[in-house]
Chain A
């Protein structure tokens, strides 16, 4: 199995000279099995370029599986620009948590409503089907075994562990840490005091995450904030690399990949973050990589595929 990053940015796309090396597009990761099966995790703006690549590879209409962590704009905005959707005969299965929406098809359909996009979902040639996921309820997609994991994010979000070809990786985004703030179904102006029940819920969520991540080869984690930024916005629903490292160390993870970079972080800052956390990871025996658009990682200890880990030679 291998994974490729098509969008690594959080919140909104950031074009420009300051982001050419790490990339400006939002959340989208492609997982490939040894047999060539593909699962797409999140449908942020990175999905446009992925779709164009899949079109070049495809021999006629295909079936695509898309796992959504949640439906904030930065995780779905690429969907209307996914070119295979405009090829008749294409099937797109969308797996997502039912959060604030009543119906998945109405919330996904809602992004292409007349006011927002010229073509409504019903007119798009591809056939869509929607599958509701539940944390802890495992399922198979071809040779991928998928485990949804509940995360701490406004109105709910779900991470995924994917097991395939004798190895595993996990996608843990978007999530806040599990101590100061609990995200529920309402808007937080700032951190709210935690009740005894809240503390129990947070602990249970953290324990379940640790159990699911135990021994996983590679974990891609929402590390939107630096610690000093997190201190100002603990209620925004994102984590720091330190918080991710703590979870990964407890779960005996081999490798952590920093992901969902803040739009304000320039390439120079990302270089500094990458160096700082590579060193911090070494101290606790975890390899820490910083994701960039075009990064491809073989999953598993046996490295027999070419590995691209340097954004300096990243795509244009």
Chain B
């Protein structure tokens, strides 16, 4: 299984010279199996970059199939939806899977609201030319997606919940824990540890530098050390710090990686936009 980070930024897309190495696009992560099956997690602005690449393949001819898992519907995770060009080609089959937000609104209604006529000229999901299905996931359900085995769990994120994913293929496992905050950093919930158990790669919310966290406790995001605790307890083989703060320049992220690595035996890196990596 290969992975490519198309967007690693949290909350807000950052352009400018200080954000070039890690990248300024909001969250979107692509997984590809050895056999070429593909899966996307989240539709932040990073997805628009992947879209350009996909349009050069079967998606440009209306023959693409893609499942997309959403962690939740905060804008930084769905901002790229109206600009994800494979949606505009008839014949493509795209599944959007995610939990209903815990506001009483369904996933489908929420995405329709995003495309409501005052906000978007698309004026509704029905105007997307591709075949698009919106499928509600009910964590801790297991999802079947061609080529991948996907387990889910709901994890607290401020006043809402995000869906965390454990995705396995080709004998490798990636765990995605973005936009999460545990009541006690030193005691991550058992379900979180189960989801990350022996993962080859743990992608974890690291919105805050450890020294900034106290000011932002309760806002729904983790400091870098939260991912370390999960990785160590769950026996994850590698930790990717993810969902970088819009205030974090490349140099600041370098520093967070250095400090975090110094305290753990688990190999740590900061997720960056770029090339395909082997899991």
Contact = CB atoms under 8 A, between A and B. Distances in A.
A14 B73 contact: no
Interface in A97-115: 99-101, 107, 110-111, 113-115
Interface string B182-222: 00000000000000000000000000000000000001100
A245 to B, nearest CB: 25
Interface stretch (A69-77, A217-225, A283-291, A297-305): A69-77
B45 A12 contact: yes
Interface residues of B, number: 47
B120 A23 contact: no
Nearest to B249: A316
Contact of A13 (B45, B74, B105, B119): B45
Given A187-B121, A237-B121, A316-B18, A117 B48 contact: no
A110 B160 contact: no
B123 interface: yes
Contact of B119 (A71, A118, A185, A293): A71
B19 A15 contact: yes
B234 to A, nearest CB: 27
Contacts of A20: 15-17, 20
Contacts of B131: none
Given A15-B13, A187-B124, A116 B219 contact: no
B117 interface: yes
Contact of B118 (A19, A155, A236, A293): A155
Contacts of B145: none
A261 interface: no
A260 interface: no
A116 B114 contact: yes
B101 A114 contact: yes
Contacts of B124: 187
A293 B15 CA distance: 10
A16 B15 contact: yes
A118 B121 contact: no
Given A15-B25, A114-B159, A73 B120 contact: yes
Contacts of B101: 114-115
B82 interface: yes
A110 B113 contact: yes
Interface in A214-265: 236-237, 263
B121 A16 contact: no
Nearest to A235: B121
A81 interface: yes
B133 interface: no
Interface string B62-74: 0000000000011
B121 A316 contact: no
Interface string A254-279: 00000000010000000000000000
B23 A77 contact: no
Contacts of B110: 115-116
Contacts of B82: 12, 73
Interface in A1-51: 11-17, 19-20, 23-25, 45, 48
A12 B121 contact: no
Interface string B228-242: 000000000000000
Contacts of B117: 99-100, 154-155, 185, 187
Interface in B99-146: 101, 103, 105, 110, 113-114, 116-124, 127
B103 A114 contact: yes
B113 A113 contact: yes
Contacts of B116: 100, 110
B15 A187 contact: no
B24 A24 contact: yes
B20 A16 contact: yes
B150 interface: no
Contacts of B158: 118
Contacts of A17: 20
A82 to B, nearest CB: 11
Contacts of B18: 316
A315 interface: yes
Interface in B9-29: 9, 11-20, 23-25
A56 interface: no
B80 A12 contact: yes
B83 interface: yes
Contacts of B12: 45, 48, 81
Contact of A77 (B49, B75, B118, B121): B75
Contacts of A19: 15
A14 to B, nearest CB: 7
B176 to A, nearest CB: 20
A101 B124 CA distance: 15
19 contacts: A14-B13, A16-B273, A23-B15, A24-B13, A24-B15, A45-B12, A48-B246, A70-B118, A72-B119, A77-B75, A99-B118, A100-B116, A110-B119, A115-B74, A118-B74, A154-B121, A154-B123, A315-B16, A316-B16
Q: Closest 9 A-B residue pairs measured CB to CB?
A: A15-B24, A24-B15, A316-B17, A13-B13, A187-B123, A15-B15, A154-B121, A100-B117, A100-B118
